[in-house]
């Protein structure tokens, strides 16, 4: 994903934000074949900042739960559906789309319940990008007799290599590395768990970039039950060699260190979604950051939610780019909000090397069991976050450009708006000062009459009735005129100041 967009956050110096500093995203991407239990957004990948692939592992084709991948392109008027991928050799329950990875040229999709090499042995389909479409899939399968291997539980692609995890394959998990030869992917090496123990799930997560490969075994028991471990490998051009074993700082049980891994250049982020917060909050989760220094990986920081939520599973998924890390927390919820609404947290690295929270990202009008943050993907400032549980597991995906800086003040527009929602009168995540204002009255055209909630051109009692109906609601709906995530007296004050005909 080495693309040309400029990421402002790379040089951003910010101060820590309060828990309430939040960017709220509307649902921008939904499946054109939406249906309950499809789990649209179980995994997401960005091939480029304008090309998104979404796993739909519960989708039905000619049989139940065959799975699919829906592909979208970002155009001037928003995300547009391009095509649905659903190979003809799928069978009922294959769950194609469970795990996906992409770069500018290749899309890798798994169906971990495919039976070509045994019951639930798994398979991976690799697509080549041509004229904006994904074509000519090559199917990769494990050796015969791989019953239950779940080949494809994790996939990664980078620089003419791809890696496929089979966490239940072999004795205690395997990872197969393929190399591109012409237009075909050929098996280069199968990596076995170096410290095999039943149930470690070696290969449950993978991060690959260049000649560096990180493999997660989140149920590894070294030092504690299900503490987790990550094994690092390097390639000399001929074979992959074990370099080191990374373990979490804590020795407590059930941290699941290595549940998620992201790598970019010489930096890696590793999620431990089961870790407890410093105050003992169960399964609140954390992320450890490593830098490649000299010839080895060295721990350089840790990320934790500043407001720990029991069962939040912060670190369920991670994405990294330059000096920014995004962490999914799909189990997040509070005593005053629905359970499992989920969120994503954005962290920025300071010149002091400290990582600080920049903003929370929530879905618009969150609902119980949305699981927002279950999957995150990042490419040149463009972030996509999935909510596979939304709308009865129909699923949805939200998108935001963290790199936009329309006023060129070296601070991301999204982060400015998160700190001061009044800078964005209509909630489209674009600064008002960058919007068209044809009558030069200081108010963007799109916001000339934000209090006209029924669109009749007049701010009147009819609009007031709508505000009162929504009074106290959480979320950035139309009645939340000042975009502070709650409909209250402040919205009434703005409303009354606009009373009468829209000008």
Residue 475 has pLDDT above 60, yes or no: no
For β-strands 22-25 and 355-363, DSSP reports them as parallel
138 close to 126: Cβ distance less than 8 angstroms: yes
Tens of pLDDT, residue by residue over 315-374, are 999 999 988 999 999 999 877 777 899 999 999 888 888 898 888 888 888 899 999 999
Residue 450 exposure: Cα atoms within 13 Å on the Cβ side: 25
Percent of the residues in the chain that have a pLDDT greater than 90, as a whole number: 62
Rounded CA-CA distance 404/320 in Å is 17
Name the β-bridge partners of 45.
Answer: 53
401 close to 62: Cβ distance less than 8 angstroms: no
Q: Pseudo-torsion of CA 79, 76, 410, 25, nearest 10°?
A: -30
Q: In what order do the strands lie in the sheet with 205-209?
A: 205-209, 212-217, 229-235, 240-246
pTM, 2 dp: 0.82
In this predicted model, which residue has the larger pLDDT, 417 or 232? 232
In this predicted model, which residue has the larger pLDDT, 310 or 54? 54
Model confidence at 6, pLDDT cuts 50, 70, 90, reads very low
417-451 b/e (C-beta count within 10 Å ≥ 16 → b)? bbbebebbbbbebbbbebbebeeeeebbebbbbbb
Q: What is the DSSP letter of 94?
A: -
Residue 119 has pLDDT above 90, yes or no: yes
Cβ-Cβ contacts under 8 Å for 437 (sequence gap 6 or more)? 443, 444, 445
Tens of pLDDT, residue by residue over 418-427, are 667 778 776 6
Residue 453 has pLDDT above 90, yes or no: no
Q: State the residue for tokens 């999620």.
A: 271
Domains delineated in the chain: 8-403 (2.130.10.130), 449-501 (1.10.1330.10)
Predicted local distance difference test score (pLDDT) of residue 1: 29
Average pLDDT over residues 200-205: 97
Q: What distance lies between CA 454 and its chain's CA centroid? A: 35
Helix axes 489-497 and 461-469, enclosed angle (nearest 10):
170
Model confidence at 484, pLDDT cuts 50, 70, 90, reads low
């Amino acid at each position: 994903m080495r693309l040309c967009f400029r990421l402002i956050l790379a040089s951003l110096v910010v101060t820590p934000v309060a828990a309430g500093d939040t960017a709220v995203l509307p649902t921008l991407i939904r499946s054109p074949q939406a249906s309950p239990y499809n789990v649209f957004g179980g995994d997401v990948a960005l091939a480029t900042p304008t090309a998104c692939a979404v796993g739909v592992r519960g989708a039905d084709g000619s049989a139940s739960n065959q799975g699919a991948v829906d592909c979208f392109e970002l155009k001037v008027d928003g995300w547009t559906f391009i095509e649905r991928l659903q190979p003809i050799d799928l069978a009922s329950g294959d769950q194609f789309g469970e795990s996906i990875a992409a770069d500018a040229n290749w899309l890798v999709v798994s169906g971990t319940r495919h039976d070509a090499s045994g019951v639930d042995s798994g398979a991976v389909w690799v697509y080549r990008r041509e004229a904006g479409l994904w074509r000519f899939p090559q199917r990769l399968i494990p050796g015969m007799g791989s019953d239950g291997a779940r080949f494809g539980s994790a996939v990664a692609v980078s620089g003419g290599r791809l890696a496929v995890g089979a966490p239940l394959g072999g004795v205690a998990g395997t990872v197969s590395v393929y190399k591109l030869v012409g237009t075909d992917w050929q098996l280069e090496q199968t990596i076995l768990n170096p410290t095999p123990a039943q149930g470690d799930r070696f290969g449950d997560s993978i991060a690959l970039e260049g000649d560096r490969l990180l493999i997660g075994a989140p149920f590894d028991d070294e030092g504690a039950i299900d503490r987790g471990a990550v094994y690092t490998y390097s390639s000399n051009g001929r074979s992959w060699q074990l370099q080191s074993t990374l373990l979490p700082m804590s020795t407590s049980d059930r941290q699941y260190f290595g549940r998620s891994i992201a790598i970019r250049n010489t930096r890696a982020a590793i999620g431990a979604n089961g870790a407890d917060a410093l105050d003992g909050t169960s399964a609140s989760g954390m992320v450890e950051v490593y830098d490649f220094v000299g010839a080895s990986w060295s721990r350089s920081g840790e990320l934790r939610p500043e407001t720990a939520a029991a069962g939040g599973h912060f670190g369920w998924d991670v994405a990294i780019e330059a000096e920014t890390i995004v962490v999914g927390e799909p189990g997040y919820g509070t005593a005053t909000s629905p359970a499992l609404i989920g969120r994503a947290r954005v962290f920025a690295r300071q010149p002091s090397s400290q990582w600080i929270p920049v903003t929370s990202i929530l879905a618009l009008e969150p609902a119980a069991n949305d699981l927002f943050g279950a999957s995150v993907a990042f490419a040149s400032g463009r972030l996509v976050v999935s909510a596979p549980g939304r709308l009865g597991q129909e699923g949805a995906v939200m998108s935001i450009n963290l790199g936009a800086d329309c006023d060129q003040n070296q601070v991301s527009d999204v982060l400015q708006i998160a700190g001061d929602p009044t800078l964005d009168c209509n909630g489209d995540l674009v600064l008002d000062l960058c919007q068209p204002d044809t009558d030069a009255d200081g108010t963007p055209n799109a916001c000339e009459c934000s209090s006209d909630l029924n669109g009749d051109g007049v701010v009147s009692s009819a609009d007031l009735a709508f505000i009162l109906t929504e009074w106290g609601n959480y979320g950035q709906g139309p009645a939340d005129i000042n975009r502070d995530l709650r409909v209250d007296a402040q919205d009434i004050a703005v409303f009354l100041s606009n009373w009468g005909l829209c000008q």
